[in-house]
Amino acid sequence: MPAYTIVLDPDLEAGGYTVTVPALPGCVTQGETVDEAVAMARDAIALYLEDLRADGLPIPQETERPQLITVAVPG
């Protein structure tokens, strides 16, 4: 079973989270809570992969995990 990293970005204006999947360009969803966002991501990834299979396209594999690093800058 493939596994993909998801990124949850808090939506400060509307609330909840926007979810992206770096290894699957254009695979975006959202959820009101972290649990809902993760569940929605699973569904979005499954649909994305299903569409690729239906179109006969290769399934991207995530070979390297993205890294998030916070850096301070002088201000």
**pLDDT tens by residue, 19-55:** 999 999 999 999 999 999 999 999 999 999 999 999 9
Q: Given its phi and psi angles, is residue 42 left (phi above 0), alpha (psi -120 to 50 degrees) or beta?
A: alpha
Query: DSSP 3-state assignment of 40?
Result: helix
Residues 32 and 16 sit within 8 Å (Cβ to Cβ) = yes
What the block records as the tokens of 32 is 């009101």
Tell me the pTM: 0.87
User: Percentage of the chain with pLDDT > 90?
Assistant: 84
CATH numbers and ranges of domains, the chain: 1-75 (3.30.160.250)
